[in-house]
């Protein structure tokens, strides 16, 4: 599992995909908060069941992060929370998706 410091150290403008397995909703929320710096409208958040396909759907963006929330309920809760703070909603209506993605 990544901690925020090492996560931010690994985030670059390359094609790296910081990813965690079965990270808690709280930890994912904290990592997203640290990336967004309250500039929520600059980011798009969504959920997916296929991270590679979704990244391609978005045109392989330069800034792309993905986390496994372990449950679709957790993933949807994170997405809803950040949309309410002003993030853009990623396209699609996937009901069972454990992955949360963030792009800019």
Decide if 27 contacts 70 (C-beta within 8 A). no
pLDDT digits (tens, 9 = 90+) for 22-40: 568 999 999 999 999 999 9
List, in order, residues 6 or more apart from 8 with CB less than 8 Å away: 34, 35
Tell me the residue length of the chain.
Answer: 104
Q: Please tell me the pTM assigned to this model.
A: 0.77
pLDDT of residue 92: 73
Q: Does the pLDDT at position 56 exceed 90?
A: yes
Number of H helices, E strands in the chain: 4, 4
What band does 80 get if pLDDT is binned at 50, 70 and 90?
A: very high
Q: How high is the pLDDT of residue 17?
A: 47
d(CA 104, CA 102): 7
The tokens for 2 are 């990544």
Write down the pLDDT at residue 15. Answer: 43
Q: Residue 12: what pLDDT?
A: 35
């Amino acid at each position: 599992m990544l901690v925020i410091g090492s996560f931010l150290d690994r985030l670059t403008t390359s094609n790296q995909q910081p990813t965690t397995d079965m990270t808690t909703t709280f930890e994912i929320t904290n990592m997203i908060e640290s990336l967004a710096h309250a500039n929520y409208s600059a980011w798009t958040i969504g959920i997916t069941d296929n991270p590679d396909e979704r990244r391609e759907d978005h045109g392989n963006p330069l800034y792309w992060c993905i986390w496994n929330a372990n449950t679709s309920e957790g993933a949807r809760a994170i997405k809803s929370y950040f949309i309410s703070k002003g993030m853009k909603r990623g396209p699609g209506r996937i009901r069972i998706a454990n992955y949360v993605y963030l792009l800019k």
